Every structure is written in C-alpha cells, then in structure tokens.
Amino acid sequence: MTALNTYAPLAARILIGALFLVAGLGKLGDVAGFSGYLASGGLPAFLAWPSVIFEIVLGLALIAGFQTRIFALLGAAFCIVAAFLYHFNPADQMQMAMFLKNLAIAGGFILLASVGAGRFGVDKA
C-alpha cells in the first residue's frame, strides 16, 4: 500500500492534468469557434480566452504538483459547471455520458484536493 500511496497522487495529477492541458491547447486553434460553443451554453463568449488559459494553467499546475489543492478545487468547480451547462440532456445518451464523465473528473479533483500533490510534486504534501 505504501507504493500506491506514494505514486497514486502523481499518476492522478498527470492523467487529469494532461486532459486539461491538451484540451486547452487544442482550443487555441479555434478560439472563435469555442466562443460560439460557450455562448450556446449561456455563458458570454468573452470567457473563451480566460477558459482556454485556465485549462492550460490547470493542466500544467497539476502535472507539476503546484498549488494542487487549490487548483483541484477550481478544476472540480469547472467540471461541475461544464457538466450542467453543456452536457445535462437526459434525452441524449452521449451527452449524459459526457455529463457523468465530467462529474467523475470532478470526483478525482476532489480526491486530489484532499490528498494534495503527494511526494512528487512542487507542493510535496
């Protein structure tokens, strides 16, 4: 169990952080299109750039283990908001799968917030 407790936070940070880093970098290719997507969920289009920057910074911070607890809580909130604004559609099975995926990632973030960066992070706690 000691090895699991030692390496699990690192693995979780890398896996979740990579998801957000790649997603944020991918949105850089079409910020205007992403702006339209944001507006379709009821958020103002001007939040596209802050959202893209947030995803990139979140991914990098998690991978590095920097301010893990704070970024994990912010990430959980981000996932829950995105789940309800963009994926909650009980009539569409694919959207409900995406909804549950976002909630599951939020759960992972909450666990990271509770355990911190672990041994192999800038935070070391």
Residue 63 in 3-state DSSP? helix
Q: What's the pLDDT tens digit per position in 20-74?
A: 999 999 999 999 999 999 999 899 999 999 999 999 999 999 999 999 999 999 9
Least confident range of 11-15, 81-85, 116-120: 116-120
What's the CA gap between 116 and 125, in Å, rounded? Answer: 5
With pLDDT > 70 as the criterion, what percentage of the chain qualifies? 98
The beta strands (E) that lie in the chain are given as none
Predicted pLDDT at 39: 94
